[in-house]
Amino acid sequence: MADSLICIEHVSKAYRRDSLQIPVLADIDLTIDTGEFIALMGPSGSGKTTLLNLLAGIDTPTKGRITIDRRVISSMRETELARWRADHIGFIFQLYNLIPVLTAFENVELPLLLTRLSRQERQAHVRTALAIVGLSDRADHYPRQLSGGQEQRVAIARAIVADPVILVADEPTGDLDARSAGEILDLLNRLNTEHHKTIVMVTHDPRAAARAHRMLHLDKGVLSVEEPAAALDRSRDGR
């Protein structure tokens, strides 16, 4: 457990609504190793996104401890956590969440503005990231000039540009047609295998989940089933 990249110990999360405590996650224990590709499944309201938010450092647990890359993030203060996120986490959202007034290039560059890289270095990183997602020729396009699949690829380029250890993806194919979804999943697979990114993906889609090494099931806040993905062997066989 000590060598795991992500270590979640006895984590509970409850939200307060007026005087009511609404439990979302109950005593979760989970470890994820470097280079794993995890699919997090479960019905709506089961706490998938909450768990994802906790390990991405945009929410804090009510109880328990989260250690990532040997640092306990569950006790970090707001500003420290923001800095940590910039260094360690790449976000991929269902609705891409690109900034509409910035070009693809500028959107991808955003996370690098939080680093000490020079302008030239930033430009080089952005070009590399756009090349990885196959959108070098769309650098000057605004989000409204791109298809859904292309927007999500730009969002993925933004997620990887600062070279984070972990990519968190919340329903990354949820708003895409089957073909674009397939391309995005291929891209995630490639980032996992070729670029060794650890990926935690929330999804409703069994076909998306099949791309992962491990499938985790959350139900009513309890991590109930943990099973190896059926697709794992297939992908290892190179098919």
Partner 1 sequence: MGIPLKYNLRNLVVRKVSTAMTVLGIALVVTVFLLVMSLAEGVTRTFATSVSSLNVVILRVGAGSDVNSFVSKDQHDAISTLEGLARGDDGQQLESPEQVVLINIPKRDGKRTNVIVRGVEPVAFKIRGDSVRIVEGRMFQTGTAEAIVSTRARDRFPELRLGGTAKAGSERWTIVGIFDAAGSPYDSEVWADLHNVQEQAHRTGGFSTVVARATDTAARDRLIAAIKGDQRIKLDALPESDYFDKQTVTAAPIKILAYFVAIIMAVGASFGAMNTMYAQVSARTREIATMRALGFSRMVILVSFVLESVVLGFLGGLAGAAIAFVAVHLFLTAPTGTNNFASFSEILFNFQLTPALIVSGVVFSLAMGLFGGLFPAARAARLKIINALREA
| Residues of the shown chain interacting with partner 1 in the complex, contacts defined by CB under 8 A | 50, 53, 56, 58-59, 78-79, 82-83, 85-87, 91, 93, 95, 97, 99-102, 106, 110-111, 113-114, 158
- Within 13 Å of residue 35, how many CA atoms lie on the same side as its CB? 5
Cβ proximity to partner 1: between 100 and 238 the closer is 100
Specify the DSSP class assigned to residue 177: -
Specify the DSSP class assigned to residue 136: G
Q: Is the Cβ–Cβ distance between 51 and 25 less than 8 Å?
A: yes
**Cβ 143 to partner 1 shortest distance, Å:** 11
Amino acid, res. 69: D
Q: Is the Cβ–Cβ distance between 5 and 34 less than 8 Å?
A: yes
**Cβ 2 to partner 1 shortest distance, Å:** 27
Cβ proximity to partner 1: between 43 and 206 the closer is 43
Rounded Cα distance, 45 and 121, in Å: 42
Cβ proximity to partner 1: between 157 and 229 the closer is 157
**Cβ 227 to partner 1 shortest distance, Å:** 28
Token representation of residue 38: 């995890």
**Cβ 102 to partner 1 shortest distance, Å:** 6
Cβ proximity to partner 1: between 115 and 189 the closer is 115
Torsion angles phi and psi, residue 70, rounded to 5: 65, 15
Residues listed for the chain: 239
Cβ proximity to partner 1: between 75 and 193 the closer is 75
Q: Using alpha carbons only, what angle is made at residue 182 by residues 181 and 183, rounded to the nearest 5 degrees?
A: 90
Cβ proximity to partner 1: between 14 and 110 the closer is 110
Token representation of residue 92: 């991929």
Cβ proximity to partner 1: between 56 and 166 the closer is 56
**Cβ 201 to partner 1 shortest distance, Å:** 16
Rounded Cα distance, 100 and 73, in Å: 31
**Cβ 233 to partner 1 shortest distance, Å:** 34
Q: Give the SS3 label for residue 24.
A: strand
**Cβ 1 to partner 1 shortest distance, Å:** 27
Rounded Cα distance, 52 and 209, in Å: 15
Placement of tokens 């391309």 in the chain: 183
